Amino acid sequence: MITKSEDLAALCERLAKSDFVAVDTEFMRENTYWPELCLVQIADTQEAAAIDPLAPDLDLQPLWDLLTGNEDVLKVFHAGGQDVEIIYNFTNRTPHPIFDTQIAQMAISQSEQIGYSNLVESWLGLTIDKGARFTDWSRRPLTERQIEYAIGDVTHLAKIFPRMLKRLIKTDRGEWLDQEMEKLADPENYRNDPTIAWKRIKAAGRNAGVLGRLKALAAWREHEARGKNIPRGRIVRDETLADLASHPPKTQSDLAKVRGLSQGWKDNEIGKRLMQALAASEPLPEDELPPRAPRGAPLGKEGSLVADLLKLLLKIRAREIDVASRLLARSEELELLAAGVRKNLAMLEGWRFKTFGKDALDLVEGKLAFAVVDGRLKMTHVDDTVEPAPE
């Protein structure tokens, strides 16, 4: 357990000589806007430690330098999105280069977003003690059992990663993951810009006035939540913001009639600031409007059936090559392909096109069919199965 700056600096100096480090974090975010970092676990093949960011006067800079400034050390996470977010919040940078074992598992098995416990059991044959999983990591002192549990997350990961890497090399699928890992490390995914907060809220249509109000309200809510350091949903829920944008109140007293707001909003200060945000809103510019939904004219009413066939094709291909279907294509992409879209689909680019996208195109163009061979459903090209009609 690292609680002193000199010990952390020495640890990071040693780890900087490793090829990779496994990293995990423990945090609390139920009652705050910003996740509260409570523990950082880190390990290579030789040693492991838990770093206590709540320790008085502990200088975390050597850790941030190792994780975000050292390009020679690979940073290994499991389902690392939230861990990367926390590191970004502290540094405005993301770990790089990066490797996520949850994503990598999808390239060598049909597992969709495998959990950490299942990953450990699959690779190491160990059962994780889940007793400390719901620990309040902000309380001190931590028990030996809690520390052992936390450090186990990275010591297991440090054993799994080299084995997983060998499997990836053997199957020649390492390049499949390059784009996915770069996407995980992209700082734009974690930049908390209030002006784009509205994009996380589900809203129907492309009405510029409605979306302009939603943009203004979402930005207002971000500032309110940040200032109070409470979850944004405790200010106003998403559905209430969408309703306010679609049916804006004329006066502050009308807020008392809005579902999801209390009576007090009709004359309190936060209600006043909400009305000011609405009054200052402007219609969303054309270049910020979401793209128009593609029409299914080329396929007519049969589009949904074609999408179902594409999903069946995806299942067959994923089974044949033992890969998670989610890594090859998403359901929404298949529906777009069925509707006639041919641009800006990941499955029609690079390795995904060679592995699945080409067959998907052949299916919608009538060049691919399904057949039952030895009791198993397979896909086959029409030219291989259909004999020419007699003259």
Residue ranges and CATH numbers for the domains of the chain are 5-189 (3.30.420.10), 194-288 (1.10.150.80), 301-384 (1.10.150.80)
User: Residue 108 contacts by C-beta under 8 Å, 6 or more apart in sequence?
Assistant: 164, 167, 168, 171, 173, 322, 323
Q: Among this protein's residues, is 267 annotated catalytic?
A: no
pLDDT at residue 352, as a whole number: 93
Average of pLDDT values for 42-65? 97
Instruction: Write out pLDDT tens, residues 206-217.
Output: 899 999 999 999
Q: Which of 282, 270, 50, 301 is nearest to 154 (CA)?
A: 50
288 is annotated as an active-site residue: no
Per cent of the chain over pLDDT 90 is 77
Report how far residue 3's alpha carbon sits from residue 183's, in angstroms, rounded to the nearest whole number.
33
Say which of 33, 44, 52, 83 is annotated catalytic. Answer: 83
Annotated active-site residue in 100, 153, 222, 335: 153
176-226 pLDDT per residue, tens: 898 899 999 999 999 989 999 999 998 878 899 999 999 999 999 999 999
C-alpha triplet 281, 283, 286: angle, nearest 5°:
145
What are the distances in angstroms from CA 2 to CA 51, 57, 132, 138, 315? Answer: 5, 12, 20, 15, 47
**In the annotation, is 149 catalytic?**
yes
350-369 tens-digit pLDDT: 999 999 999 999 998 888 88
**Is 153 an active-site residue?**
yes
Residue 380 in this model has a pLDDT that exceeds 90: no
Look at residue 293 in the predicted model and tell me its pLDDT: 60
Angle (nearest 5°) at CA 206 between 203 and 210: 65
Q: Looking at the predicted structure, is the pLDDT value of residue 152 above 70?
A: yes
What pLDDT band is residue 295 in, cutting at 50, 70 and 90?
A: low
For residue 296, what pLDDT is reported? Answer: 45
> Tens of pLDDT along 315-362?
999 999 999 999 999 998 998 898 888 888 999 999 999 999 999 999
State yes or no: pLDDT of 26 exceeds 50.
Answer: yes
- Of 67-76, 142-151, 260-269, 382-391, give the lowest mean pLDDT range: 382-391
The better pLDDT of the pair 203, 146 is held by 146
pLDDT of residue 299: 46
Q: Quote the CA–CA distance of 365 and 180 in Å, as a whole number.
A: 29
Q: Is residue 26 annotated as part of the catalytic site, yes or no?
A: yes
Q: What is the token pair recorded at 296?
A: 């299914």
User: Considering 33, 52, 88, 149, which one is annotated as catalytic?
Assistant: 149
Name residue 50's beta-bridge partners. 41
- Read off the pTM: 0.85
pLDDT at 383 exceeding the cut of 70: no
